[in-house]
Amino acid sequence: MKFSKIASVAAAITAAGMMSVSANALWLPVKDADKAEKLHTAVGASWMLVPYFDGVAKADEGKPVGGIDGLDYSKIAKISCTFSVAEADRPFWDGAIGGAMVLSINGGDLGCDDNKSDKYDTYNWPAQEWWGVVDEDLGITSSGDEKIGAVKVGDYTYKVTSNAFENPLANGDAETIGLIQVAMQDYAGTALCQCQVDKVELLDTSDNVLVTFDGKGNYTVAGGSSDPAPDSDSDKTDDKTDTSTPSNNVDTGVEGVAAVVGVAALAAGAVVLSRKRK
């Protein structure tokens, strides 16, 4: 099998008057009661973390306020996500999954709400598309034209890593920020299979792991502290209430739209996947 980008949705709409989506996998949801503090959204179309929020932007009310002790936000450059196919769906798995990885930063010097700077749009919700997996044991290979694809790291388990994002705290565009959001979006319109997010890692430009989140949003800072489990009696004050400005990185409420981008972004001009058999 091969995955290839065969047409933009705009072209598909022009030719057929409708959109066809062949990315058939969705994220398994995480129940609210199971989510750790930093996991804000975990539904079929979007799995989203909020590593830092100063609580200022009104458009982002309801997101977890605070930061992660020991994490240098200025070093965040890449996102890596490891996911696995739900066991019950494995007989139907064809590798047809795709979406976008997002590192969104705003607030602070970049502005928010009605006070956005000219740099706001540069860092607010930039997305890198990714498509398909490589699993030669299942006959799933790459067409070679995907910008980013996932590789096999275990049975029905895959890892996808973004290219480097621009970080305003690192390049001097901002000294203070108010919000950081990290999202793994899914572009499936329907779900033939469901996949579980096992972990998400934030990396520096040299691919060193800065912090690791499990599928519920519990985190471990490289060489540092970890977020207690939701039922733990440990004090989580630092995670919830530390609103000190990171020394050099944020997004506003666009993920409300992004949560449905699974279909909406495609309709706006993403790509269609086509499965081909050898």
**Digitized pLDDT (tens) for each residue of the chain, 278 residues in all:** 444 332 233 233 233 333 334 578 899 999 999 999 999 999 889 999 999 999 999 999 999 999 999 999 999 999 999 999 999 999 999 998 999 999 999 999 999 999 999 999 999 999 999 999 999 999 998 877 778 999 999 999 999 999 999 999 999 999 999 999 999 999 887 778 999 999 999 999 999 999 999 999 999 999 756 654 444 343 433 443 444 456 443 333 444 334 333 333 333 333 333 333 23
Report the SS3 class of residue 177.
Answer: coil
How many Cα atoms within 13 Å fall on the side-chain side of residue 273? 29
What are the phi and psi torsion angles at 118 (to 5°)? -70, -10
Looking at residue 143, what is its pLDDT? 72
Record the tokens describing residue 49, joined without a space: 């973390």
Q: What is the pLDDT of residue 42?
A: 93
Q: How far apart are CA 122 and CA 27, in angstroms?
A: 28
- Lookup: tokens for 130: 């990714």
Residue 1 is predicted with a pLDDT of 41
Paired tokens of 160: 């996808």
**Quick one: how far is CA 110 from the chain centroid?**
21
User: What pLDDT sits at residue 235?
Assistant: 40
The closest alpha carbon to 168, from 244, 101, 107, belongs to 107
pLDDT at residue number 85: 97
Q: Rounded to whole angstroms, how far apart are CA atoms 35 and 42? A: 8
Q: Smallest Cα–Cα separation from 276: which of 142, 148, 159?
A: 142
Q: How many other CB atoms are found less than 10 A from the CB of residue 172? A: 8
Q: Are strands 157-161 and 78-85 parallel, antiparallel or unpaired?
A: antiparallel
Cβ partners under 8 Å of residue 182, min gap 6: 48, 49, 50, 51, 79, 102, 103, 104, 200, 202
In the prediction, which pLDDT does 219 show?
97
| H or E element that contains 211 | strand 209-214
Both tokens of residue 238? 């630092």
Would you say 68 and 94 are in contact if contact means Cβ atoms under 8 Å apart?
no
What is the torsional sign of CA 60, 62, 64, 67?
Answer: positive
Say how many CA atoms lie within 13 Å of 192 toward its Cβ: 12
